[in-house]
Structure 1
Amino acid sequence: MKPTIESILQNQLNNIQAEVIMTAYNEFEPGWFEQKTEPDFFRFGYTVKGEARLNIQNDTYFVQPGTLYFLPAGTKQSFGTEGNEKLGLYWCHFRLELSDFQVINALQLPPFVYVKDKEMMKNLFIKMNEYQHCKSITRELRLKSVLLELLAYYLEESHVQRTTFQQSDFEVKWNEVLAYIEANLHQNIQIEELAKFAFLHPNYFITSFKNIMGCSPIQYVTNRRIAIAKQLLMETELPVAVVAKQVGMQNHYLSRLFKRYTGITPVQYRRIGKNTGTNRKTLTTRMNEEKS
């Protein structure tokens, strides 16, 4: 996938809003079957014993223990046991905002993935079940954190970075827009110029950009400049003034903006990063010496 498209997808995923509706563990007797429905929520299911049969739209799948399956909202689906053994199943129902719903559907995720670390996956569902019954004010935050962990795992195992991300808004040439930004971070970037690449009026361009990227064009450019500055500070010995120039800022402005974004100055960021890197190398060297 092109880096520009990957940036768009990453921004979309970073802003996902998810809500856990219900989660539980159940065991189902042989012969159990749930008729076709078209729920307005998404489903995750993790099989730990027995075999299940999934029907999604007009396709049928058989899932074994250690399989994490995903049922999209708004699709015709039914499922049940297969064979003569009880089905042991952790499951979770959750909702997404409409825009996130569209993003997930556009990814065309597979119906299931095979879980390598079965204990880790089981523990995620156990944690979610525990959080569901707690009465803490942080209950929803904890539920959401586990759900996002599940979703991230599923996306990674589905290799979404290789997926062609298609959306109607992409008829506009967003690749060219983001590529232009990336190539011109060292100089002043005008909204009017970006809008020309997208063949849009500047006002409509700003709205469309925000809908796709989750932030305004100015915010995106600033985020990219800070990210490149961080990279240069860690990977080179360039003076801060030179780093500032390479990301299109005055030295004093980069220092002020950098501190606002990170809480520390560029010089402090470099020093902390270098020290952390040195400590990590020292620890690795020590561990290798102990092994040998």
Structure 2
Amino acid sequence: MENQAGAFLGKNLANVQLDVSIAAYTKVPKSWRDENFTTAFNKFYYIMEGEGYVKVNNETFYPKAGELYLLPSGSVQSYGTINDNTFGKYWCHFTAKIGGFHLFQLMKTPVFIRPDEFGLEEKFQQLITNMHSDRLSSTFRVHAILLEIIAVFIENSQTIHFKMNASPSFDKMDAILTYIEEHLDGNLSVEALAQIANFHPNYFISVFKKFTCSSPIQYINRRKIEKAKELLAVSEQTVSSISDSVGMELSYFSRVFKELTGLSPTSYRDLSLKSRNNPK
């Protein structure tokens, strides 16, 4: 079951929606304390110095310098100081969603890691700088930096559990995505997929969008074109044969391919061939 959940997340992590509400460095006062509260956002604490405690659900931790803590949304949290040597920490509040689901409701990670040398202090400094910048590119940089920090946390987590019970529809949607992958050569209709899930078509479309951030047709077309790109790059099949192999009429295939890649199928094949023959 966890392999299914991991496969679902793997297919859809590219659609993760991020929002950073605040990022800062703080030497907390001795009065820094709160008990048994929940938030609708996640928190990162990167400890630089000092002592104190954090509690997540029923576990209490005493963070040390160099440790990165993730306090997920929806968890019961407490924190406080224990002496005059208070925490100095980088921190940020953020949301990370796939469709309508919080990322860390779909996957359970450790509360903290001690990451390999990665320059996290510099990353948090860059995050703070870009949060306070009015440059047009700053929003992109904020998202890119936060994704890097999340990636570091996941890569350095010894155990990650996927929560199959995050939604009663999870199993059905994962089965639908698997069915799509196995039938990319066919004519996949919304009505047929809804019937497999035992949903009304309108409800099916709504649930599918919540899980993938795409309509069923948009998602199916993207997956068909991804398969076609692989075939164009590694096989000698004609464009017509490839369009057949992904269950699309040639003119429609060519139009969708260009819409999604910016190139015609023939131009994409030529570019792939040049890249293989002239690697840089």
With the length of structure 1 as denominator, give the TM-score of the two structures: 0.80
Partner of residue 184, structure 1: 183
Contact kept in structure 1, 2:12 and 2:98, CA below 8 Å: no
Partner of residue 168, structure 1: 167
Q: Does 1:109 align with 2:109?
A: yes
Partner of residue 267, structure 1: 266
Shift of 1:129: 1.4
C-alpha distance 33-15 of structure 1, shift in aligned 2 (>3 A): same
How many equivalent residue pairs? Answer: 279
RMSD: 3.1
C-alpha distance 99-64 of structure 1, shift in aligned 2 (>3 A): same
C-alpha distance 100-159 of structure 1, shift in aligned 2 (>3 A): farther
* Structure with the higher helix share, 1 or 2: 1
Counterpart mapping for 1:127-142 below 5 A: 127-142=126-141
Which shifted more, 180-189 or 80-89? Answer: 80-89
Shift of 1:230: 1.0
* Consecutive unaligned residues in structure 1, runs of 5 or more: 284-292
Contact kept in structure 1, 2:19 and 2:94, CA below 8 Å: yes
Q: Alpha-carbon deviations, 1:10-43, whole Å to 9, x = none? A: 46543333322221122357x6752224334321
Partner of residue 248, structure 2: 249
Counterpart mapping for 1:20-99 below 5 A: 20-28=20-28, 33-36=32-35, 37-80=37-80, 87-95=87-95
With the length of structure 2 as denominator, give the TM-score of the two structures: 0.83
Shift of 1:260: 1.4
Code of the aligned partner of 1:8: F
The whole-number CA distance in structure 2 between the counterparts of 1:7 and 1:115 is 25
Contact kept in structure 1, 2:232 and 2:269, CA below 8 Å: yes
Q: Alpha-carbon deviations, 1:66-124, whole Å to 9, x = none? A: 221111234332334568866331111224569655442232232112211331x2221
Which shifted more, 205-214 or 149-158? Answer: 149-158
The whole-number CA distance in structure 1 between the counterparts of 2:163 and 2:219 is 22
Q: Alpha-carbon deviations, 1:37-72, whole Å to 9, x = none? A: 433432111123345532112211233332211112
Q: Alpha-carbon deviations, 1:200-241, whole Å to 9, x = none? A: 222322222222222111111111100101111222222222
* Identity within the alignment, %: 32
* Consecutive unaligned residues in structure 2, runs of 5 or more: none
Partner of residue 206, structure 2: 207
Contact kept in structure 2, 1:177 and 1:194, CA below 8 Å: yes
Which shifted more, 224-233 or 176-185? Answer: 176-185
The whole-number CA distance in structure 2 between the counterparts of 1:100 and 1:115 is 30
